[in-house]
Amino acid sequence: MSSFFINTFGCQANKSDSERIAGDYFARGYMEAKSWQECDELVINTCAVRQRAEDRARGFLYNVTEYFKQSPRQQPKIIFTGCMTHHGNQKLLEMMPEIDEILPVNEVGFNQAAIRKDKKHAWIPISTGCNSFCTYCIVPYSRGREKSRSYEEIIQEVQVLVDQGYEEITLLGQNVNSWGLEKVSIGFRKLMMRDEDFTRKDLPENQSGYLKPKGIPPFVKLLQDISKFKQIKLIRFMTSNPWDFHDELIVEIGQNKKIDRYVHLPAQSGSNQVLYRMNRGYTRESYLEVVRKLRQADPKIILGTDIIVGFPGETDAEFQETVTLAKEVGWTVGFVAMYSPRPGTASWKIYEDDIPHKIKKERWEILDQIINKDNLQIRPKVV
């Protein structure tokens, strides 16, 4: 029997994709090898969020090929997937001729039954891709336009999980709030794909790729319906975007105690100027408003965030606005990253990566200290 092994880099979306890739292998009669040294097919599921993430995947590939130069065993077939596929097949094969096959990440799909190792908690993808086009982000290029999975398919998967004894689920999407609201055809696709330079003013507003909900947003309805499964005890979701964190969602979180009290709400920056350059579609004030409403809905809610320091043009004063936002909100956890330009993104085309690494590092340390180390002194804080 042939065997496969999957090495996964990056976020939960990749881990969830890997569960489905494994499902596809099992369906085709493969078994899972104990290690990459022993498999016939090796899938490398990559992350491209920062250059370092890409370097890690390339380093792993290097180690694999070096290992098999010395080994009596034949090198496995190497299949590359994940966000690094945004480079395109030709460029990837030029960079890494050792790759045998490229599996476009948007072809992983929702349909393969996931093979899960955890027997209590399950990840359920509810959408792929993104229409938001934050200027620094590679996702709309690597994973394509946003596509919601159907209500029926999601509920059916929850039913299967309940039948298998699962009690906790996490709904996954690049922006779960917009589930069921993406515009199918969006005019800026061509704009973002053209080769010539464009300016910040050419960029679509974050909201332009979505429909406005009429009544209860579909995602809130989905949460309500999943909560009706008695056996489901805990529902988490990630990630939410602050610009469309609807009031109805806040009310639902406040009332529905099956929903986790931890809310991940990426702020990225506390400066309106930086948020504008990032094309995030909200302001510091509107972010704080969502925080205030969430804490009003339930004071037990705790918040986490993602922050990028050293975004192009970030002045000391703009960085200090992120520092004051951190102190004001009192996030429990913060994933702080130093800006790294991703080729093909709008920020890579429009802005110069002009903040020296030393300054980025200093800013990273300041925020990491405040959010992740000092936060016990700051909390609890009701905005």
> Which positions touch ligand SF4 (CB under 6 A)?
130, 132-134, 137, 139-140, 174-175, 241
Q: Please, what is the minimum distance in Å from the beta carbon of residue 139 to ligand SF4? A: 4
| Shortest distance, position 174 Cβ to ligand SF4, whole Å | 4
Which CB, 81 or 132, lies closer to ligand SF4? Answer: 132
Q: How far is the CB of 286 from ligand SF4 (least distance, A)?
A: 15
Query: Which of 8/132 has CB closer to ligand SF4?
Result: 132
| Cβ atoms of 178 and 210 closer than 8 Å | yes
Residue 45 or 175 with smaller CB distance to ligand SF4? 175
Sign of the four-CA dihedral 68, 72, 78, 82: negative
Q: How many whole angstroms separate alpha carbon 355 and alpha carbon 315? A: 9
CB of 40 to ligand SF4, least distance (A): 34
Q: Give the ranges where the chain is alpha helix by DSSP (H).
A: 12-27, 51-70, 89-95, 139-142, 151-163, 188-193, 218-227, 247-255, 272-278, 284-297, 316-329, 346-350, 357-368, 375-378
Going by C-alpha positions, the residue among 315, 257, 266 that lies closest to residue 291 is 266
CB 274 within 8 A of CB 316: no
By beta-carbon proximity to ligand SF4, the closer residue of 45 and 347 is 347
Nearer to ligand SF4, 133 or 351 (CB): 133
Least distance to ligand SF4, CB of residue 160, Å: 28
Cα 33 from Cα 4, distance rounded (Å): 6
Pick 45 or 178: Cβ nearer ligand SF4: 178
Q: SS3 of 355, please?
A: coil
Residue 25: C-alpha distances to residues 14, 124, 164 (Å): 16, 19, 21
Question: Could you tell me the smallest distance in angstroms from the CB atom of residue 266 to ligand SF4?
Answer: 7
